[in-house]
Chains A and B, each alone.
Chain A
Amino acid sequence: MDECQSAIPAHDGDLHVVAAAHHIVKALGTTKNLSDDLRKILIDLDAHLSLITSNIDSKGGKGFVEVEERLKRVERKIVIWESDRIMIWDSGPKEASDYLEAVDEVQTLIDSLRGLSMNENQKQKELLHRASSLLQMAMSRLEEELIHMLVKHKQQSEPTYIPSPSSQRNVVYNESVVSLDNESAKEASSKNSCSDECGEYIVDLVPEHVIPDIKSIAKVMFASDYGQEFCEAFIGVRKEALEQHFDILENGKLSIEDLLKMEWCSLSTEMNKWTWSMKIIFGVYLMSEKRLCDQVLGEFGSVNSFCFLEIAKTTILCLLNFGEAIAMGPQEPEKLLRLLDMYETLADLVIDIDALFSEDGGSFVRLEFHKLLEGLADSVKAAFNAFGVAVSSNGSLYPFPGGGVHPLSKYVMNYISMFPEYCSTLNLLLEDQHSDVASLVSEPQCGPTASLSTSCPMACHLRSITSSLESNLHKKSKLYKDEALQHIFLMNNLHYMVQKVKGSELRPFFGDEWIRKHNAKFQQHEMNYERVTWSSVVLLLKDDNPGSSSLSKSTFKEMCKGFSIAFEEVYKNQTSWCIPDPQLREDLRISTSLKVVHAYRTFLGRNPAHVDDKCIKHTVEDVEKLLFGLFEGSPRSLRNSRRMMKT
C-alpha cells in the first residue's frame, strides 16, 4: 500500500492513467471465470483506485462519495443482524456467506483508507472511524456466532459409543495379604484392560460439516487481527467440553492428602478409573481435540498448539497429580496389579503424549509424564518386592485347621497367575534385579540350558516367590504338633501349587523340571504321612515268630485289641483332617488302604481259628470303609460311622 500512496498522481495527465486503469480493472472484474484469489485482488485494486480518484475529487470538494456509498451498503448488511434474534449461521448458508462477504468488504475499505495518507482529511478519518466501529460490531457478532456454534454442536457430539469402565472392569483382586488368615481368597482376578478396544480412536468432537463454518469465522477474525478473541472463545468452550468429558468419567477430584489416607478398596477403584480415564482422555479426546485444533487453526501459525495446550492443561494436571499421589504412596503388595495397569497404560501412551505436545510450550507435559512413568516403574518394583516380603513374612499363631490348603497359598498362587499377562512389563522392570534373584533360585531352569520363558526375569522372580511361599509353609507346618498332619498340610499345599502352575499361564515360566521336582516333593510328604501314621499301626499286626504256624488265642486277641485301639485313635484324629483335592484324597486312601487293609487281611487270614466276633472289633471291610471316610474335613466319631456302616 505504501507504493500506492506514493503513486497518488499530482498532474492531470496522471489522472487519466488512473482513470484508464480503473476502467480496465472494472472490465476485468466482470469476467466470469476468474479464480477467487484473482477476483479478490481485482476488487481490492478497484477499491484502491476509486479511493485515489475520490481523494483527488475531494480536493475539488466532492469527498469520498463512492467509499461512503459502499460503507453504507455494508453497514446496512451488518447492522440489520444486530436487531435480529436469530443467529446468522442458523439462518442458512446464504446468510452466513453474505455476512462474511460484508465483513470482507469492511476490511477492504479499512485497509484502503488506512493505506492513504491522512493529510488532515476529516472525511477520510471519519470514514475510517465508522468502518472500524462497524468491524468491531461484526467481530463481536462473529465471536458470538462461533461460541454458539461450538456449544450447540458440542452437545450433539456427545460420544455414546465408548463403553463405561464399569462394564469393562473385571473382578478386582482387592484382598490384601495381611488381612487374610483362615479366610478363603477370591479365586479369580483379571487384568483390567481395554487396550485393544480403544487405542487411538479419533472422534469428531464437532461434526465434520461444521468445521468449514468455524474455519471461515477463524479466517476472517484472524485477517482482521481479532485472532486473540477467536482463540479465547475457542479455548473457553473446548476446555469446558473436555472438562465435562472428564467429569463423565467419574474422576473424583481428590487431594493428595485424601488419596494417601484412602482405604485400599476405594483406592483400587480410583486407580482403575485413572487407568481408564488416561486411555479415554489421551487416546480419544486429546487426539481428537488436537485434530480439531489443527483443522480449525492449522493455517494460522503456532496458535493451534497454543490453543490445544490451553484446552488440555488443567485436565492433564489433574491426571498427572493423581498419578503422582499414587507413585508416592506406600507400595503395599495388593497394589501391584493396579500399579502395573497404571504403568502399562502410561507406557503405551507416552509416545502419543510426546507427539501431542511436541512443541516447546508442551515440553513440560512431556517431561512430567516421563517423570511419572519412572515413578510408577519404581512403585511397581517396590510393590513387587513388598509382595515378596509379605509372602515370606506372613505369620500365623495357630495351625491352620485340618491341614488343608492355606489361604496364603491360594492368595499367592492366584495372584501370581495374573503376572503372565504383564510379562513383558515385568521383565523390563525386574531386569536390573534379575541377577540377584536368579542366583537365589537355584532351579536348573535358570542355567544356560534353560528355555527363554523359564529364564526370563519374571520367571526367576516367580520361582523366587513360590520358594518363599514354600519356606513359609514349612514354618507354618511346624505349628502342628502331629507330625503326620505336618505332612498332610505340606502335601496339600505343594500339590495345590503344582496344580495351579500346571493349569494356568504360569506353566511355561516354571517349566516341566519345576513341576517334576514339586510333584516329587508332595509325593514324598504323602509317603512320609503313611510312614508316620500307619507304620506303627501295621507293626502291631506283625508276627514276632513268623516260623510258628499260628498264634495263641490270647496273643491274637491282644494284638487285635492293640490294632483296634491304635486304628480308632488314628481315625478319631484324622477324620477332621482335610484333603480338598478329590484325586489326591482318593490316591492317598487307596495307598493307605493297600497298606493297612492288606496287612490286616493277612494277619486275620493267618489265624483263621481265632476269628470270631468277640475277638475282632473291626472286620476287614469295616477298616476299608472307615479308611475311605478319612480326610473329608468333617470330624466323625467311630460310633456314628459304625452305625452308619451297619445300616
Chain B
Amino acid sequence: MTGTDQSSFLGRISIRRNQVNAMEGYHEQEIEDLELFQKQLSDRFAELLSAPDDAPTEAFLSISWIRKLLDVFLCCETECKAILLMERDAAQISKPPLDRLIPELLERVVKAMDICNAATNGVELVRHCQKLAEIAVSALEQKPFGEGQARRAKKALVSLMSAMHVDDKESSVQKTAERSWSFGRRSGNKDRHHGHYRSLSWQVAKHWSASKQIHAMTMNLAAPRGPEASCLPAPVYILSLIIVFVMWVLIAAIPCQERSGLTTHLPINKHVNWTHSLAGIHDKIGEEWKKKEKKGMAGLLYEMQKMEKLGQSLIEFTDSYQFPGEKEKLDEVAAQVAELAEVCRRMDEGLVPLQMLIREAFHRLVRNRTEFLDVLEQGAPVV
C-alpha cells in the first residue's frame, strides 16, 4: 500500500461525495466505495499472510512484519473514517443503529489505547533482551576464544533467558519485594551469578489484563447482516474488527501483562471475501500461540523466538565448553553467533521505529475518538 494509492482513494470519496451528494444513485456509489475499500483490505491482508515463516527479513510476525501490519492499520483507519465521516451529515451518524454502534466502537478504541501503551512497554523488554544478547554476541565473537569469554557469554545468556521467560502475570511490585539484591549474597556462591537484572514493570493497573481487554473488545462485535451489510454499519464493523485484530496480534507478539486465554475467538465473518486472509492470519497465530502458551514466553515475535532458540543452544555450548574447543564445534557456534548478531541488528534497526509506530497508532486512536465524539456531540459534520 503506497501513499498515492491511499490519497487517490480518499480523493475519490471526496470528489464523489461533492458531486453526487444531491443526486440520485448516491447509495450505489457508496456501495461501490465500500467494495473498493474491502478489495484493498483483502489485498493488504493477503500480502501479510503470504509472508514467509522463516526468512532473514520480512518473516511472518517479525518486527518488520508488525510494522507493516501497523501501516495497514493506519491506512485502514484513515479510509474507514473517510467513508464514515467525510462530507457526511452528522445526522446520519447519530441515528440508529449507528447511535449504538459508534459508542461501542469508541469503547473499543479506548481499550485499544491501553493496549498500545502496554505494547510500548513490552517493546522495552524486548530491547532489554537485545542488549543482553549483544553482550553474549560480543563475548562469543572474541578471538582468541577462551573460557573467560564462554563464562561472560553464558552469564548474559542466562539473564536473557530469565528475562524472556518472565511470567506475564507477575507484577513489578511483587517482583521487587521478592527479589533482593542480596547483600548476604556472599554466603552462598550459587546466586552470585544472578545476572543482569532489569526491573520489569508493566506500568499499568495491577488488575489490568491484556486478554480480558481483547475479550471485552469482541463483545457485540458482529458482522452486519442483510441490508445493513452494505451501508454505514459495515465500515463501523470493519474498523472495529481491524482494531481488535491488530491489538490482538500486538499482544500475541510482544510481551504484555496477563495474556492467558488469548486464543479467544475473534468474530471474523468468513463469508465475506475481504476477511479470508485476515482469518488466515488469525488461525496461524492462534495455532502458534497454543503451541507456545504453556511454556510461558515473551511473545511470538519472530526475532524473540529466534533469539530464544539460539540462546538456548549457545547456553549448552558455553556449559560444556573447554579450552581450546573443537574446531568443528567452534565453526558451528560461529554460525549461530552470526545469526544471533543478525537478530540483534534487526532489533537495533527495528524496535525503536516499531515503538514510534505503536505510539503513532495510539495518537491516531485518540484523534479518531475525538473526531467521532465531535460528530456525535456537537452534531457538526467532520470534513
Q: Which residues of A contact B (CB under 8 A)?
A: 84-87, 118, 125, 128-129, 132-137, 139-140, 144, 147-148, 151-152, 225, 228-229, 231-233, 235-237, 239-240, 243-244, 247, 252-258, 260, 313-314, 317-318, 321, 324, 328, 364, 368, 371
Contact = CB atoms under 8 A, between A and B. Distances in A.
A141 to B, nearest CB: 9
Contacts of A133: 146-148, 151
Q: What are the nearest 5 A-B pairs in CB distance? A: A136-B148, A85-B186, A133-B148, A132-B148, A129-B146
Q: How many B residues touch the partner, as a band?
A: 35 or more
A364 B201 contact: no
A640 to B, nearest CB: 55
A317 B120 contact: yes
Given A239-B199, A257-B110, A314-B201, A129 B148 contact: yes
Nearest to A241: B199
22 contacts: A85-B187, A125-B324, A132-B146, A132-B148, A134-B148, A144-B185, A148-B183, A152-B183, A228-B131, A228-B135, A233-B196, A236-B196, A236-B199, A240-B199, A253-B204, A253-B205, A255-B114, A255-B205, A256-B114, A257-B114, A314-B121, A328-B366
Interface in B103-138: 110-111, 113-114, 117, 120-121, 124, 131-132, 134-135, 138
A232 B135 contact: yes
Interface string B177-219: 0000101011100001100111101011110100000000000
Contacts of B152: 136, 139-140
A228 B138 contact: yes
A394 B372 CA distance: 26
Contacts of B359: 364, 368
Given A133-B151, A134-B148, A317 B181 contact: no
Contacts, number: 119
B208 A240 contact: no
A317 B192 contact: no
B135 A129 contact: no
Select the residue from B117, B148, B363 with max chain A CB neighbours within 10 A: B148
B74 to A, nearest CB: 17
A117 to B, nearest CB: 13
Contact of A84 (B131, B176, B186, B205): B186
Nearest to B155: A140
B370 A328 contact: yes
A293 B197 CA distance: 19
Contact of A256 (B113, B144, B146, B181): B113
Interface of A is mostly: helix
A129 B323 contact: yes
A256 B205 CA distance: 10
B14 interface: no
Contacts of B146: 128-129, 132-133
Contacts of B156: 229
B230 interface: no
A257 B117 CA distance: 12
A317 B117 contact: yes
B193 A240 contact: no
Given A129-B323, A232-B198, A260-B110, A137 B205 contact: no
Nearest to B188: A85
B31 interface: no
Given A85-B187, A133-B146, A136-B149, A232 B201 contact: no
B172 interface: yes
B15 interface: no
Nearest to A85: B186
A321 B110 CA distance: 12
Contact of A244 (B124, B176, B183, B186): B176
Given A228-B134, A313-B124, 19 more contacts: A85-B186, A128-B144, A129-B146, A132-B149, A136-B151, A140-B192, A144-B192, A229-B135, A231-B131, A232-B131, A236-B197, A239-B199, A240-B176, A255-B204, A256-B117, A317-B120, A321-B117, A328-B366, A364-B359
A324 B370 CA distance: 12
Select the residue from A118, A231, A232, A243 with max chain B CB neighbours within 10 A: A232
Nearest to A319: B203
A256 B112 CA distance: 10
B196 A229 contact: yes
Contact of A364 (B185, B206, B356, B362): B356
A314 B199 CA distance: 11
A236 B198 contact: yes
Contacts of B44: none
B172 A243 contact: yes
A270 to B, nearest CB: 12
Contacts of B363: 371
A152 B181 CA distance: 9
Contacts of A254: 205
A155 to B, nearest CB: 9
A134 B155 CA distance: 15
Given A132-B146, A148-B183, A258 B370 contact: no
Contacts of B138: 225, 228
B336 to A, nearest CB: 20
B178 to A, nearest CB: 13
B369 interface: yes
A119 to B, nearest CB: 13
Nearest to A361: B352
Interface in B293-314: none
A232 B199 contact: no
A609 to B, nearest CB: 77
A431 B172 CA distance: 45
A324 B117 CA distance: 11
A137 B155 CA distance: 11
A129 B181 contact: no
Contacts of A231: 131
Select the residue from B117, B193, B206, B356 with max chain A CB neighbours within 10 A: B117
Select the residue from B132, B176, B204 with max chain A CB neighbours within 10 A: B204
Contacts of A147: 181
A257 B216 CA distance: 12
Nearest to A136: B148
B206 A253 contact: yes
Contacts of A135: 148
B203 A253 contact: yes
Contact of A87 (B113, B114, B186): B186
A132 to B, nearest CB: 4
Nearest to A228: B135
Contacts of A257: 110-111, 114
A102 to B, nearest CB: 15
Nearest to A244: B176
A318 B203 CA distance: 6
Given A84-B186, A134-B148, A140-B151, A232 B204 contact: no
A148 B194 CA distance: 12
